Structure 1
Amino acid sequence: MAAGTVARDDDRIRALPRTLLLIALVVAISSSLGSPLITSVAITLHVSLAAAQWTLTIALLTGAVATPVLGRLGTGPRRRAVFLGTLGVVVAGSALAVLPLSLGFLLVGRAAAGCGLAMVPLMIAAAREHLDGDRAASTIAMVSVASTVGVGVGYPLAGYLTDVGGIRAAYAVGLVLTTIAFAAAVRAFPESSQPSAPKPDAIASLLLAAGLLVLLLILGEPALLQRHLGVALVLALVAVLLLAGWVMRERRLTVPLVNLRLLRHRAVAGANAAMLVAGAGMYLLLSCITRYVQTPQAVGYGFGLSTFTAGLFLVPFSILGFVAGRISPRVRKRMSAHALLIVSTAVVLVAFVVFAIDRGDIAGPLVAMSLLGFGVGAFSAAMPAVILAVTPAEETAGAMGVNQVVRSIGFSLGSTLSALILAAYTAAGAVFPSSEGYTSAAWIGVGITGFALVIAVTSRARPGRP
């Protein structure tokens, strides 16, 4: 190998941790731009709130659908090309969102930007292959944390820019950030030396993509469950049939899209189950707190915060999430990743209890949001370690891709659950639910998170088992 090539590779490896952290944070910010802008999009483009909601939903859908396919496609020597190509699609999508606005262009752009969510497993695979033990562990933890709690950066940023320059200003910053991330990836994302793997099976990819698309469509549309339950049940059956067909197809393939045997491992199955249930609880609480603090005080509760101020309310969530991710590698020298998963789930449970019993002044929700951030950060840092401890290096992207999809399903379920619970406590003709709705949602969240805690406790891999 030429001396120049060796030097270039060494520079890439040295810059890899900060590059991956930058890209993970940018992807989180870009994907979260949809949520705080929904009302502004509806007003600016003269469309309904339900139509504007798709600027968020479509990004989550494309991210979840693309994740397992890109995880397999990016295994081995193709990883750098797939990573840069996907990030290029994200940049193009961000550019579309800044063009003279129409809902069609905006939705296409948001769908393309959502592909960035599928890049996290490839980043984790790159860190695991190219970094040594401690640097790999800390980098993987921080990438996982940034991809989750980075929304706390995107929310206030989007709210402020929308107030100052409208929604195009907010999306323009998304374009600038993704362009910077692309330039950093071109310079620092390394080639993989792992053996080449066959390309994903087209039929398996289509079955999985279609099944996830239908499932997340149901979860992402609370109105469908509220007003058209029969249609939702039919779609749920379609999703089950598509995913069952995918499983049967996978079992016949020599090189499957997802290693189903690996997913049946006690530790991996338990981690994914905990991710699904805990993710639903985490997003339930996040949704409830952000809605509660924006409720006008004239309703009898709430604090009437603006979109921007409510976004600032998420800053402690992100800060404590990053603090938890930063200290997690040191904590893991005293306890296992599995034990950290249990502790972090317990912290989220405490956050629910705080929100359930102490909402009289703004300090209660603020403490609950801070505890949630710390719990989510520690949980996100521990999850990859639990899964990768029993995962072969060549299956890293695939295994983490499945976990990413499970996380998306859990978050969508939590968001929908919050909407359904609060809708049940909203009187006919009223805009806001009663305060009891938030109390019920909080205690339901305690039950959900308690169930996740039971799963985490009972899913420890037995000593001596491979």
Structure 2
Amino acid sequence: MQADTPPQSSSREPLVGRPRRWFLLAVLMSAVAASSGITVIYTMLVTLYRVFPGSAAVGWTVTAYWLGAAVFAAICGRLGDLLGYRRVLLIVLVIAAVGGAVAACAANLAVLIAGCVMQSVASGITPLSMGLVRENLPARQIPSAVGLITAAGMVSAGLVYIGAGVVIDRYSWQGGFWLKVVLCVMTIAAVRLCVPKSHRRSDARIDFVRGLAFAPALCAILFAVQQIHAWGLRDARTGGLLAAGVVTLWLWSRHQRNAADPLINIRLLAKRQVILANACMMCIAIGAMQLGQVFSLLLQQPVWTRAGFGLTATQAGLLMFTINIGATLASPWSGRVAARYAARQAALIGMSMLVLTWASLILLHRSMLLFVPGAMLCSFGLAFAQTAVYNLIIEATPAEQTGEATGLLYVFFSCFFAVGAQAVFTLLQGASVSEGGASFPAGQSYVAVFGYVAGSALAGLVIAYALPKQRGPGHRPSVLEGAGLSGPARTR
């Protein structure tokens, strides 16, 4: 009967042979384009302070990017579920490329920030890539493919950091943004040539006006968090923005929960595994995900502080790339563990690694020879745990809601990443050493940060233990079987 016909995406034949390899290459290029946006901005921050001297608003290039990323990830993921992942991915890449061009041609800081906001739409690439993988690959290969996407994002961030630094140093700061444009254009060509067309999944009439109410609410909350160090927790502006954001989110969630065709399906969060996976991501975002901020500062901090290693920016960039190399092994390995035993086991392994490795840095950070291997293990554990969380979401959600569910996960990541950045910033300011007007974190401040990150990972480990267990080895959740992603070939 017509009513029993499965969704088109579930009944599609998976890619085989050579087309599958080219498809994966295109998706991995998408991951590279997604990671390049904020990496380029981070790379040129020091240069921007020179180009726009005396402007306190330079930091808004980063703040605006993260505000936009928190909003666009959920919206793009949902639109991909409804309109087709390939179609929405191409639109996102075009907008990100235009944003890079706008930023490169900016004559003033306001236009530059606007270009950064446009580039933040690239946050939607991750949930769209996850949706494409689930739509086009056999079930047994999905966890490993998710691992490859995660690894590509982490490793490419290091490559883009180096490439953007060379372009900015040898040519101009605008060159960093033009590099982002080139990456997006190359990815557009790869997606058009190698990724099969996705079918439109729904003709639902969605109330976009009220459905988008979460966007200003999230922006209010994240902006308040970003301003805590400037305004203070007791400032009326901080409390007012937080209260307004929380109330608006509550009203929005009530509307979306009761709507027949919601823009963001809040009911997804009612599933135990989904909400616990998001809680695991929260623990990762507030702690281990601050790896780049902490390690980069420690590596470049002057030796006279007795806490840093005194490397140049280029040396630190090369070493950070080396540290991130572990992700190329960790993410696929995490995917294989998830495919064989279930994502819960992969999450337990990843979180355990994070607890042990960050705790060990309390002692290892005093020597470069010991710190670098410890830092590489931290990166390894981060990639392992992050891949496991994405696979937890994919295990627990229907195929037609993959983009929406992973988009919501990215929203959790963006929100709590901002919270974690403020926590780390506060801890690093706890004790400092000064000389000649320059002030840097003291050794005990780094010890406090390492302990804080290890504690957040321990909280994530406890949450991972609370995840529902599989019924037996190799068992896949029934929702995947119902979506045609596991088990024998389904008959009509």
Q: TM-score, normalised by structure 2?
A: 0.86
TM-fit CA distance, 1:332: 3.6
2:468 matched residue in structure 1: 460
Separation in 2 of the partners of 1:384 and 1:303? 35
TM-fit CA distance, 1:101: 4.1
Identify the match of residue 319 of structure 2 among 306, 313, 321: 313
Deviations 1:66-114 (A, max 9, x none): 1112222222444333221111000101111221542122211111111
TM-fit CA distance, 1:360: 1.8
TM-fit CA distance, 1:355: 1.9
TM-fit CA distance, 1:430: 5.6
Alignment CA distance shift 1:34-1:365 (3 Å): farther
Identify the match of residue 65 of structure 2 among 56, 59, 64: 59
Identify the match of residue 29 of structure 2 among 2, 18, 22: 22
Separation in 2 of the partners of 1:225 and 1:15? 50
Contact 1:89/1:115 (8 A) holds in 2: yes
Task: State how 1:266-345 maps to structure 2 within 5 Å.
Answer: 266-332=272-338, 334-345=340-351
Separation in 1 of the partners of 2:233 and 2:438? 17
1:449 matched residue in structure 2: 457
Instruction: Return structure 1 stretches of 4+ with deviation > 6 angstroms.
Output: 8-12
Q: Is 82-91 or 333-342 further displaced after alignment?
A: 333-342
TM-fit CA distance, 1:27: 1.4
Contact 2:77/2:403 (8 A) holds in 1: yes
Separation in 1 of the partners of 2:234 and 2:174? 34
Separation in 1 of the partners of 2:239 and 2:469? 36
Separation in 2 of the partners of 1:120 and 1:283? 16
1:412 matched residue in structure 2: 418
Count, aligned residues? 459
Deviations 1:270-313 (A, max 9, x none): 11001011221113343222111111112232112222222112
Q: For structure 1, which runs of at least 5 residues remain unmatched after alignment?
A: 1-5
Separation in 1 of the partners of 2:469 and 2:340? 18
2:52 matched residue in structure 1: 45
Alignment CA distance shift 1:334-1:84 (3 Å): closer
Deviations 1:28-77 (A, max 9, x none): 022211112111111122243x4222222212211111111222222244
Contact 2:277/2:393 (8 A) holds in 1: yes
TM-fit CA distance, 1:176: 1.3
Deviations 1:401-438 (A, max 9, x none): 11111111222222111111112324797621221111
Alignment CA distance shift 1:222-1:372 (3 Å): farther
Separation in 1 of the partners of 2:331 and 2:215? 31
Alignment CA distance shift 1:150-1:200 (3 Å): farther
Task: State how 1:364-443 maps to structure 2 within 5 Å.
Answer: 364-426=370-432, 431-443=439-451
Q: TM-score, normalised by structure 1?
A: 0.91
2:38 matched residue in structure 1: 31
TM-fit CA distance, 1:218: 2.5
2:489 matched residue in structure 1: none
Separation in 2 of the partners of 1:14 and 1:288? 36
TM-fit CA distance, 1:344: 0.7
Separation in 2 of the partners of 1:330 and 1:240? 39
Alignment CA distance shift 1:11-1:106 (3 Å): farther
Q: Give yes or no for the alignment of 1:223 onto 2:229.
A: yes
Deviations 1:359-390 (A, max 9, x none): 22213332232112111211222222211112
Separation in 1 of the partners of 2:236 and 2:143? 46
Contact 2:229/2:422 (8 A) holds in 1: no
2:76 matched residue in structure 1: 70
Corresponding letter in the other structure for 1:449: A
Contact 1:284/1:417 (8 A) holds in 2: no
Separation in 1 of the partners of 2:388 and 2:425? 29
TM-fit CA distance, 1:137: 2.9
Identify the match of residue 97 of structure 2 among 88, 91, 102: 91
TM-fit CA distance, 1:11: 8.1
Q: Give yes or no for the alignment of 1:111 onto 2:117.
A: yes
Q: Give yes or no for the alignment of 1:172 onto 2:162.
A: no
Task: State how 1:358-369 maps to structure 2 within 5 Å.
Answer: 358-369=364-375
Identify the match of residue 195 of structure 1 among 159, 182, 201: 201
Identify the match of residue 139 of structure 2 among 129, 133, 144: 133
Contact 2:305/2:433 (8 A) holds in 1: no
TM-fit CA distance, 1:343: 0.8
2:358 matched residue in structure 1: 352
Separation in 2 of the partners of 1:312 and 1:247? 44
Separation in 2 of the partners of 1:224 and 1:244? 27
Separation in 2 of the partners of 1:197 and 1:374? 43
2:488 matched residue in structure 1: none
Deviations 1:96-134 (A, max 9, x none): 122154212221111111101112111111111111123
Separation in 2 of the partners of 1:73 and 1:295? 44
TM-fit CA distance, 1:194: 5.6
Separation in 1 of the partners of 2:303 and 2:228? 26
Q: 1:80 is paired with a residue of what secondary structure?
A: helix
